[in-house]
Chains A and B, each alone.
Chain A
Amino acid sequence: MTTHAWLLLGAYLVILLLVAKPLGIYIANVMEGRGLALRVGGPIESLLYRIGGVRRDEEMGWLKYALAILLFNALGALAVYALQRLQLWLPLNPQAMANVSPDSSFNTAVSFVTNTNWQGYGGESTMSYLTQMLGLAVQNFLSAATGIVVVIALIRGFARHTAKTIGNAWVDLTRITLYVLLPISLVYAVFLVGQGVIQNFDAYKDVTTVEATRYDAPKLDAAGQPIKDDKGNAVTESVSTPTQTLAMGPVASQEAIKMLGTNGGGFFNANSAHPYENPTPLANFIQMLSIFLIPAALTLTFGRMVGDMRQGWAVLAAMTLMFVVMAVAAMSFEHQGNPLLANLGADMSVGNMEGKETRFGIADSGLFATITTLASCGAVNSMHDSFMPLGGFVPLWNMMLGEVVFGGVGTGLYGMLVFAVMAVFIAGLMIGRTPEYLGKKIEAYEMKMVSIAILVTPLLVLAGTAIAVMVPAGVAGIANPGAHGFSEILYAFTSAANNNGSAFAGLSANTPFYNTLLGIAMWFGRFGVIVPVLALAGALAAKKRITASAGTMPTHGPLFVVLLIGTVVLVGALNYVPALALGPVVEHLMLGSAH
Chain B
Amino acid sequence: MKTLFRPALTLFVLLSVVTGIVYPLAVTGIAKVLFPDAAEGSLIIENGKPVGSRLIGQNFTDPKYFWGRPSATGPMPYNASASSGSNQGPLNPALKDAVKARIDALKASDPSQTAPIPEDLVTASGSGLDPQISPAAARWQAPRVARVRGLSEAEVSKLIDAHTEGRQLGLLGEPRVNVLALNLALDRLAKP
Contact = CB atoms under 8 A, between A and B. Distances in A.
Interface string B80-116: 1111111111111101100110010000000000001
B182 to A, nearest CB: 11
Contacts of B122: 341, 346
Contact of A484 (B12, B69, B92, B174): B92
B34 A193 contact: yes
A139 B127 CA distance: 25
Contact of B56 (A276, A345, A481): A276
Interface residues of A, number: 132
Interface stretch (A130-138, A417-425, A515-523, A558-566): A130-138
Contact of B14 (A52, A125, A215, A244): A52
Contacts of B26: 186
Contacts of A241: 76
Interface in A159-206: 170, 173-174, 177-178, 181-182, 185-186, 189-190, 193-202, 204-205
B123 interface: yes
A276 B41 contact: yes
Contacts of B128: 270
B152 interface: no
Nearest to A71: B8
Contacts, number: 384
Given A270-B83, A276-B56, A481-B93, A52 B10 contact: yes
B126 A356 contact: yes
A428 interface: no
A124 B117 CA distance: 34
Given A340-B90, A350-B120, A364 B173 contact: yes
Given A205-B41, A505-B87, A173 B11 contact: yes
Contact of A387 (B8, B19, B90, B171): B90
A569 interface: no
A211 B59 contact: yes
B50 A137 contact: no
Given A142-B15, A353-B123, A210 B49 contact: no
A210 B133 CA distance: 17
A201 B31 CA distance: 12
A245 interface: yes
A194 B7 contact: no
B142 to A, nearest CB: 16
B53 interface: yes
A36 interface: no
Nearest to B126: A273
Interface string A338-379: 101100111111101111111111001100000000000000
A175 B132 CA distance: 43
Contact of A193 (B31, B116, B118, B171): B31
B12 to A, nearest CB: 5
A210 B58 contact: yes
Interface in B131-159: 131-134, 136
A291 to B, nearest CB: 16
A502 to B, nearest CB: 12
Contacts of B38: 193-198
B4 A67 contact: yes
Residue among A135, A181, A205 with max Cβ neighbours from chain B (10 Å): A205
Interface residues of B, number: 104
Residue among B10, B34, B54 with max Cβ neighbours from chain A (10 Å): B10
A269 B11 contact: no
A576 to B, nearest CB: 20
Contacts of B132: 357-359
A26 B69 CA distance: 45
Given A142-B15, A182-B23, A358-B69, A210 B86 contact: no
Given A193-B31, A270-B127, A387-B90, A200 B39 contact: yes
Residue among B11, B15, B128, B187 with max Cβ neighbours from chain A (10 Å): B11
B50 A208 contact: yes
A355 B83 contact: no
B116 A138 contact: no
Interface stretch (A281-289, A324-332, A434-442): A281-289
Contacts of A345: 103, 116-117
A54 B18 contact: no
B58 A250 contact: no
Nearest to B132: A358
A350 B62 CA distance: 27
Contact of A354 (B27, B90, B136): B90
Interface stretch (A101-109, A458-466, A539-547, A586-594): A586-594
Contacts of B14: 48, 51-52
B41 A246 contact: yes
A23 interface: no
Contact of A346 (B7, B15, B99): B99
Nearest to B54: A196
Given A133-B21, A358-B176, A382-B126, A48 B88 contact: no
A443 B39 CA distance: 56
B56 A355 contact: no
Given A76-B12, A170-B11, A359-B173, A273 B41 contact: no
B9 interface: yes
A514 interface: no
Given A193-B31, A194-B38, A358 B7 contact: no
A248 B41 contact: yes
A79 interface: yes
A39 interface: no
Residue among A189, A355, A487, A506 with max Cβ neighbours from chain B (10 Å): A355
Nearest to B64: A211
9 contacts: A71-B8, A198-B40, A210-B180, A270-B126, A284-B172, A346-B117, A352-B123, A355-B85, A480-B91
Given A207-B51, A269-B82, A276-B56, 14 more contacts: A52-B6, A75-B12, A138-B20, A173-B15, A177-B15, A181-B19, A189-B31, A200-B39, A244-B52, A250-B28, A282-B172, A346-B118, A383-B87, A392-B89
- Per CB-CB distance, the 10 closest pairs between chain A and chain B, nearest first, are A281-B173, A273-B126, A361-B174, A506-B87, A270-B83, A281-B172, A383-B85, A347-B116, A52-B10, A270-B127
